[in-house]
């Protein structure tokens, strides 16, 4: 396949935006860049891998999961993996999802964990880590791959949608905001806390749409605009919570996995919240967070933490932004 030039340039996130984040509790000081156009904020580490990431070659046997962070990606990835590996569900007990699937943004989103480096050195002794540990491990995998990314469609290989099956998971912005607050409050990078502030401050930064992987709305909009593409299936976290079997049946058709009702039930049980949490106790999936990655797994937690004043502000923001997309989210 031919290489594609990146469709954006980059600028440093302006000092006044960084200062706003700091004044509201962000303490992690690594430089952020953002795309022009699009204003997608990314860590500076992305720049070195941008071309390789953008030109990552997808295959027709791949399944790609996309989402804005904290939208239920881990749950969806476990469901997809179980559907693709129905005869090997016991592997879930042996390796966590990072050992069974590939998070394509991991090379620049987080410091690469030691276990990935060990796997990389064993499998690709001559390869250079600075050219992307996960990107190269994924490229070297021969069988059908499950790959996931939090990047917006704008920053993914334009051949991807025409090449393989893609699933996009979306979650309502109120619960994404709550989930992101708890996650970021528990997160440490290089031993340092990333966020030490109040929820109300965090929500203001969220509505500013200017931290990592934001803007939220454009991320969803780019997938929503492609919703009629035959290779794209959009799924909502709230629907998964309400009727998981119904959503699995749709996925079964989309992926053409041909699973029986009984097998779909097995899939839903294999990736239930309690099951994933108990597996995590034996094999942490994200060592950079203090405590469990699996927090509540519910819809509507926003109402337990937001003041009525913040709720009004958030509703206004949602009304203004969702108009440009035409999506109505469920909040309970």
Residue 241 CB, shortest distance to ligand A3P, in Å, is 6
Paired sense of beta strands 9-12 and 146-149, if any: unpaired
Spatial CA neighbour of 207 closest among 294, 306, 303, 326: 306
First to last CA, the chain: 45
Is residue 271 close enough to count as binding ligand A3P by CB under 6 A? yes
Structure token pair of residue 93? 């007990």
Is residue 270 close enough to count as binding ligand A3P by CB under 6 A? no
Structure token pair of residue 312? 């009004």
Scanning 132-140, 174-182, 219-227, 316-324 for contacts with ligand A3P by CB under 6 A, the matching segment is 174-182
For residue 197, the tally of other CB atoms under 10 A from its CB is 19
Spatial CA neighbour of 100 closest among 89, 113, 111: 89
Is residue 276 close enough to count as binding ligand A3P by CB under 6 A? yes
* DSSP single-letter state for residue 113: P
Size of interface with ligand A3P, in residues (CB under 6 A):
20
Residue 324 CB, shortest distance to ligand A3P, in Å, is 23
Is residue 172 close enough to count as binding ligand A3P by CB under 6 A? no
Q: What angle do CA 269, 273, 276 make, to 5 degrees?
A: 80
Q: What mask, x for binding ligand A3P by CB under 6 A, covers residues 39 to 78? A: ----------------------------x-xxxxxxx---
Is residue 152 close enough to count as binding ligand A3P by CB under 6 A? no
User: Of 145 and 186, which CB lies nearer to ligand A3P in the complex structure?
Assistant: 186
β-bridge mates for residue 32, sequence order: 43
* Residue that is written with structure tokens 């990835």 in the block: 77
What angle separates helix 199-208 from helix 15-23, to the nearest 10 degrees?
Answer: 160
User: Of 67 and 257, which CB lies nearer to ligand A3P in the complex structure?
Assistant: 67
User: Of 272 and 322, which CB lies nearer to ligand A3P in the complex structure?
Assistant: 272
User: Of 157 and 185, which CB lies nearer to ligand A3P in the complex structure?
Assistant: 185
Scanning 89-97, 247-255, 288-296, 320-328 for contacts with ligand A3P by CB under 6 A, the matching segment is 288-296
């Amino acid at each position: 396949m031919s290489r594609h030039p990146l469709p954006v340039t980059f600028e440093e996130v302006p000092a006044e935006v960084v200062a706003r984040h700091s004044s509201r509790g962000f303490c992690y000081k690594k430089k952020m860049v953002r795309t022009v156009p699009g204003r997608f904020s990314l860590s500076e580490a992305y720049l070195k891998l941008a071309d390789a990431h953008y030109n990552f070659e997808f295959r027709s046997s791949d399944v790609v999961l996309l989402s804005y962070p904290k939208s239920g990606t881990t749950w969806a990835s476990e469901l997809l993996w179980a559907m693709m590996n129905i005869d090997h569900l016991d592997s879930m007990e042996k390796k966590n999802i990072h050992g069974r699937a590939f998070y394509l943004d991991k090379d620049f989103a987080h410091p690469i964990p030691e276990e990935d480096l060990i796997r990389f050195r064993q499998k690709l002794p001559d390869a250079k880590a600075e050219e992307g540990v996960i990107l190269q491990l994924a490229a070297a995998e021969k069988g059908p791959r499950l790959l996931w990314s939090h990047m917006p469609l704008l920053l993914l290989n334009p051949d991807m949608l025409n090449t393989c099956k893609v699933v996009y998971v979306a979650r309502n912005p109120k619960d994404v905001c709550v989930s992101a607050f708890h996650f970021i409050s528990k997160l440490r990078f290089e031993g340092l806390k990333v966020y030490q502030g109040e929820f109300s401050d965090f929500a203001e930064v969220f509505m500013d749409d200017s931290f990592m992987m934001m803007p939220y709305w454009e991320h969803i909009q780019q997938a929503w605009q492609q919703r009629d593409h035959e290779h794209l299936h959009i799924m909502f976290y709230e629907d998964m919570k309400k009727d998981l079997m119904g959503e699995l049946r749709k996925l079964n058709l989309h992926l053409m996995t041909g699973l029986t009702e009984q097998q779909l039930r097995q899939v839903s049980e294999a990736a239930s919240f309690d099951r994933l949490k108990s597996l995590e106790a034996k094999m942490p999936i994200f060592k950079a967070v203090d405590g469990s990655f699996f927090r509540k797994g519910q819809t509507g937690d926003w109402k337990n933490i937001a003041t009525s004043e913040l709720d009004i502000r958030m509703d206004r923001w949602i009304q203004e932004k969702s108009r440009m997309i035409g999506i109505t989210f469920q909040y309970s």
